[in-house]
Structure 1
Amino acid sequence: MSANKQQSSKTSPLFSPERKWSVSCAMLLLASLWSGFSDAQTWPLPAPGSRLVGANQFHVVQDDGGSLEDIASQYGVGFLALRQANPGVDPWLPLAGTVLTIPHQVLLPETPREGIVVNLAELRLYYYPPGSNQVAVYPIGIGQLGGDTFTPTMVTRVSEKRANPTWTPTKNIRARYLAQGIELPAVVPAGPDNPMGHHAIRLAAYGGVYLIHGTNADFGIGMRVSSGCIRLRDGDIETLFRQVTPGTPVRIINEPVKTSQEPDGLYWVEVHQPLSQSLDDDPQTLPLTLSGRSQSLLDSPAVNAGVTEQSMNLRAGMPVNITHQLREPGAQTL
């Protein structure tokens, strides 16, 4: 079930979305108060051979409408995803009347549709509940630059779940905090000061040091902020925690470019900024790595090379129709 908070919004016609979901603000407020559901977007799985799900929306910034982080939280998207979809908008004080694109439309990663799939480059987690024919899409925070704070790619499984977890910071983490004048205890007890939040899902790989967990911070989802673990908003991790079981497969990938040729013959590309390797990197100009399948698809004569190049340069993090000759009169690409 999706509880998508919508304020001054309407379904966006950009990128030719085919699914239009609308729920009133009053109903969403009641859902948030009564049900405790997360803000993740939950969509029916597309037909075999299709990877395009969801629909973008518009949001009109109100007076005192908050920062992009506040708006991202309202709509269940990540901070950087909202920034990339709306370049040039002040992230802290967006002007009243500004129309924002809410990036709810995505191409599913090129992985089996089972368990948990994390794409580091797009700062999203996909969960395929068994037997449901649905996919839930969560914004996440991941590891910071450098050393043991980087979140690695892996194929693993859920090994353990724990509510109200304690936090045992590693020696390197304690040293980093100490360099900032903060002396961490050997074990941080459960509670409001625990940066792991109220729920933690342990992954089996690397000796179990990586977890999917909540947070006690109001900022950082959709950013590189953690010490290597995968961080979700409190409502999201609570929902995911209830649904997953030990043994659930987990795949963590790093693919900034996703492509699809849909059953209707249309070609799509979704381009994200690649992860920086150093503080001097500019993710907007870093080289993009494509899979062999994606490169082959983009080389098709049916693909509009000019629109594709524009998408690669813009890196807006949203699916773009790159078909050479659009089949629908007046359909938009960028």
Structure 2
Amino acid sequence: MNIRTVLGVGALLAAGALAARPADATVYPLGDGRAQIFGSVETIETVYEDTLIELARRYSLGYEEIRRVNPGVDPWLPGAGTKVVLPNRRVLPHGPREGIVVNLPEHRLYYYPKPRKGEPPVVLTFPVSIGKMDWRTPLGRTTIVARIKDPSWYPPASVRKEHAERGDPLPRVVPPGPENPLGAYAMRLGIGSGSYLIHGTNNPDAVGMAVTHGCIRMYPEDIATLFSMVPVGTPVYLINEPVKVAWVDGELILEVHPPINAEGQSVEPEVEQFSRQLDDALGPLTAAINWDLALETLAAARGVPVTVGVRASLDYPPELLEAATTPDLQSAGP
């Protein structure tokens, strides 16, 4: 695997420690460590053989992630010359910038390696699958307690029962190999009696969806990279942050993903909670906010950062001034 560094930051890993992958993993520099947004949104044209699943993997995206921003594109037969948006611009989640952060609504993992002397802090990010309904991935802080190469899978009784009811019985142990759903690498989390893993997969097409039994599933090439970098003891933060807000050069940036409820299901965003979050982001600042655009961004939950306001100390773009009003929360909504 090649690791491509944006803006000329030095490589983090020796090439010999890495495995091949369809696309470069990108290391994003964070300057003085206070950066809140990184990356870019790009548009490409497909060739006849492309599918959205293949493009997602090639450009380090999950399936749901690429599908949401390309709703009019046939995921299996987009056809030659079709324009496809690649949503690789992101607001960083709030909270600690250390170790691993997994934002469940985003279906995305962030890794903040400890900066080397003389180098700026950086972040690597990867799409992941999370727990499906009734098998929710837990929230909270934990650590990596074990690293396993070529793991065997010991499906718990509940999973064996589920498969048996579907007419697909499982053995008590699945040895390493192409039939093992854990893939070639696994890292055990110190939560839930050690039953939760960050691991690879033998079904990469499902990365970026809520399809697991609570574990965090990665593309084979991504788990190989992460495994080579992450030692035992690394902190892991499992968070639920569907709405991310940031001030960037005087602009208020909003990024919304479908929220997850207590059962792990995606639900519609709540307007009142969203309004409070924007108020918190504003603090004592005065700003012009395009509430129509903000509420549209909330309802769409496409996962793409959108500028919805500017600080009052800046010259207002006319379109923001025209709509800089307080929303009617009684009538507003998705």
Give the Å deviation of 1:94.
1.6
Letter in 2 for 1:61: T
Where in structure 1 do 4 or more consecutive aligned residues deviate above 6 Å?
328-332
- 1:27 corresponds in structure 2 to none
Structure 2 residue matching 1:208: 3-state secondary structure: coil
Letter in 2 for 1:319: P
Structure 2 residue matching 1:59: 3-state secondary structure: strand
1:53 and 2:38 correspond:
yes
- 1:138 corresponds in structure 2 to 126
For the residues of structure 2 that align with 1:321 and 1:167, how far apart are their CA atoms?
A: 45
For the residues of structure 2 that align with 1:205 and 1:211, how far apart are their CA atoms?
A: 9
Aligned-pair RMSD on alpha carbons?
A: 3.0
Give the Å deviation of 1:298.
6.2
For the residues of structure 2 that align with 1:200 and 1:99, how far apart are their CA atoms?
A: 36
1:287 and 2:273 correspond:
no
- 1:228 corresponds in structure 2 to 214
1:84 and 2:72 correspond:
no
Structure 2 residue matching 1:162: 3-state secondary structure: strand
Structure 2 residue matching 1:80: 3-state secondary structure: helix
Structure 1 residue matching 2:188: 3-state secondary structure: strand
Residues 270-300 of structure 1 show CA distances to partners (whole Å, capped at 9, x for unaligned) of: 0011236679x774x4536549554422685
After TM superposition, the structure 1 stretch with the greater mean CA deviation from structure 2, 296-305 or 106-115, is 296-305
Give the Å deviation of 1:305.
1.3
TM-score under structure 2 length normalisation = 0.82
For the residues of structure 2 that align with 1:238 and 1:330, how far apart are their CA atoms?
A: 48
Q: After superposition, where does 1:25-174 map in structure 2 within 5 Å?
A: 36=20, 39-65=24-50, 67-132=51-116, 133-146=121-134, 149-174=135-160
For the residues of structure 2 that align with 1:120 and 1:311, how far apart are their CA atoms?
A: 19
For the residues of structure 1 that align with 2:181 and 2:103, how far apart are their CA atoms?
A: 22
Shift in CA distance, 254/60, structure 1 to aligned 2, threshold 3 Å: same
Give the Å deviation of 1:144.
0.8
Q: Could you tell me which of 260, 269, 280 is aligned with 1:275?
A: 260
Letter in 2 for 1:287: E
For the residues of structure 2 that align with 1:135 and 1:64, how far apart are their CA atoms?
A: 32
Give the Å deviation of 1:74.
1.0
For the residues of structure 2 that align with 1:135 and 1:321, how far apart are their CA atoms?
A: 23
Letter in 2 for 1:271: V
In the alignment, is the contact (CA less than 8 A) between 1:145 and 1:276 conserved in 2? no
1:205 and 2:205 correspond:
no
For the residues of structure 1 that align with 2:139 and 2:225, how far apart are their CA atoms?
A: 24
Give the Å deviation of 1:47.
4.0
Letter in 1 for 2:38: V
For the residues of structure 2 that align with 1:290 and 1:189, how far apart are their CA atoms?
A: 47
After TM superposition, the structure 1 stretch with the greater mean CA deviation from structure 2, 226-235 or 125-134, is 125-134
- 1:304 corresponds in structure 2 to 290
Residues 232-253 of structure 1 show CA distances to partners (whole Å, capped at 9, x for unaligned) of: 0000000100100011000000
For the residues of structure 1 that align with 2:101 and 2:205, how far apart are their CA atoms?
A: 23
In the alignment, is the contact (CA less than 8 A) between 2:129 and 2:211 conserved in 1? yes
In the alignment, is the contact (CA less than 8 A) between 1:197 and 1:216 conserved in 2? yes
- 1:9 corresponds in structure 2 to none
For the residues of structure 2 that align with 1:240 and 1:204, how far apart are their CA atoms?
A: 17
- 1:265 corresponds in structure 2 to 250
Residues 3-56 of structure 1 show CA distances to partners (whole Å, capped at 9, x for unaligned) of: 59xxxxxxxxxxxxxx889xxxxxxxxx9xx96267433211144543111111
Give the Å deviation of 1:219.
1.2
For the residues of structure 2 that align with 1:237 and 1:274, how far apart are their CA atoms?
A: 25
Structure 2 residue matching 1:191: 3-state secondary structure: coil
Which structure has the highest strand share of the two? 2
1:317 and 2:303 correspond:
yes
Letter in 1 for 2:250: G
For the residues of structure 1 that align with 2:62 and 2:275, how far apart are their CA atoms?
A: 25
Letter in 1 for 2:255: E
Shift in CA distance, 72/234, structure 1 to aligned 2, threshold 3 Å: same
Give the Å deviation of 1:2.
3.5
For the residues of structure 1 that align with 2:190 and 2:250, how far apart are their CA atoms?
A: 40
For the residues of structure 2 that align with 1:330 and 1:238, how far apart are their CA atoms?
A: 48
